[in-house]
Amino acid sequence: MNFLAKIFGKTEKTRSALGVDIGSSSLKVVQLSRKNGAIVLETYGELSLGPYGKVEIGQATNLPADTIATTLIDLLHEANVTTNDCGVSIPASRSLLTFTELPRRDNPEEQKTVIELEARKYIPVPISEVHLDWFVLPDVPSSSESETKTPLKNINVLLVAVHNDEIQLLDTVVKKANLAATFFEIEIFSTIRSVVDETVKPIMIIDIGSASTKVYIVERGVVATSHAIPHGGQDVTRAISASSGIDIAHAEQSKKEEGITGAEQGEHRIATETTFSNIFAEAKRVMLQFEHEKKRSVTAIVLTGGGGVTKGLGEYAQNFFAVETRVADPFAKTQAPEFIRPVLKEIGPEFSVAVGIALRKLEEFN
């Protein structure tokens, strides 16, 4: 991965953008540039946080800013990152996304006041202690309704809040790593940018992280539903470890290499299928609830996150949901040597956030 920039080369006018994904079990970076109108992958890298937190690789951690910064510095050096112009992800677990319906106001200032007052009901700390933002969701008629030019009486609003302490932690990490971040972005928005191409119809994203799984339904490019499931990739690893009698490190390796399919996996396969089926059952409940309430069908499912690299998971999910299902391939939006395409496709789900961050950073240069 370190030789990508050398293969493509850079001119003096080329600016590189760095996406930094600070997850609970690992750090990921992706460096992109734009050359002759194409988005070029220059380098990428991943480093597990487990050893820095004295736990096994693949397990979730809760490390202080100094330790995360030390890990990030090591990763930047290992990946031969050559720029400090970056954006940084905010973990979904450290943010609040919620939806509410409010009266429509013609005056923007009145609408702002109504939204801020409503937000106080959902945020368990004083508003002064969080960064608050919101998005008014587009009016989307159900399949049984016709398009109308008459504005609806109410609006649907996505409220987004991040505690100041989390912003401070990320800011400390960035400064200690000698990076220059112009924005922090909640990871789902980065993921949408890198893996969703459908601009209108509902798409469900299942982001299988280490400690938890996040389920989102995206419609017209905006999050329409959000749900967290308290199980993730580390639960699969632990189930394999317990059922097969192997340690966590070997179970993590087995999960990625052997995956969920294979006729001779025995207890390994049972443990893997059982854990993923529990996660998918909850995701399916979210999907069916959305379809019942909105009278619109989810047209496709995208698997992403570290759990998305589990071999055979795409096929298993396809059979489970009976909806078009694919594994995220964020590197497909970049130009890279053909001989590393198989590797990029295999690891892609883990890098969806980092690619999405880097893509946004590139747009800042235009």
Contact (Cβ atoms closer than 8 angstroms) between residue 178 and residue 84? yes
Rounded-to-10 torsion of CA 225, 192, 179, 97: -10
Residues 148 and 170 in one domain: no
Distance of CA 335 to the CA centre of its chain: 21
Residues 117 and 63 in one domain: no
CATH code of the domain in which 265 resides: 3.30.420.40
Last-in-domain residue among 136, 163, 190: 163
Q: What is the pLDDT of residue 149?
A: 53
Residues 235 and 262 in one domain: yes
Rounded-to-10 torsion of CA 215, 221, 222, 227: 0
CATH code of the domain in which 135 resides: 3.30.1490.300
Distance of CA 291 to the CA centre of its chain: 23
Burial class (CB in 10 A: 0-12, 13-18, 19+), 193: buried
Residues (pLDDT < 70) of the chain are 1-13, 140-152, 261-266
- Report if pTM > 0.85: yes
Residues 114 and 204 in one domain: no
Residues 6+ apart with CB under 8 A from 12: none
Residues 58 and 129 in one domain: no
Q: Is the dihedral of CA 39, 329, 346, 78 positive or negative?
A: positive
Count CB neighbours of 314 within 10 A: 19
| Cα(189)–Cα(98) distance, integer angstroms | 14
Q: What is the pLDDT of residue 227?
A: 93
Range of the domain at 90: 4-94+165-364
Give the DSSP per-residue string, 155-187: EEEEEEEEEHHHHHHHHHHHHHTT-EEEEEEEH
248 strand-pairing partners:
none
Residue 42's identity, in one-letter code, is E
Q: What is the pLDDT of residue 65?
A: 94
- Angle made by CA atoms 46, 52, 58, in degrees to the nearest 5: 55
Residues in the chain: 366
From first CA to last CA, the distance across the chain in angstroms is: 26
Task: For residue 365, give both structure tokens.
Answer: 């240069």
Last-in-domain residue among 163, 197, 213: 163
Residues 225 and 346 in one domain: yes
Q: What is the pLDDT of residue 1?
A: 44
Residues 149 and 181 in one domain: no
Per residue in 237-262, pLDDT (tens digit) is 888 888 888 888 888 877 777 777 65
Domain count, the chain: 2
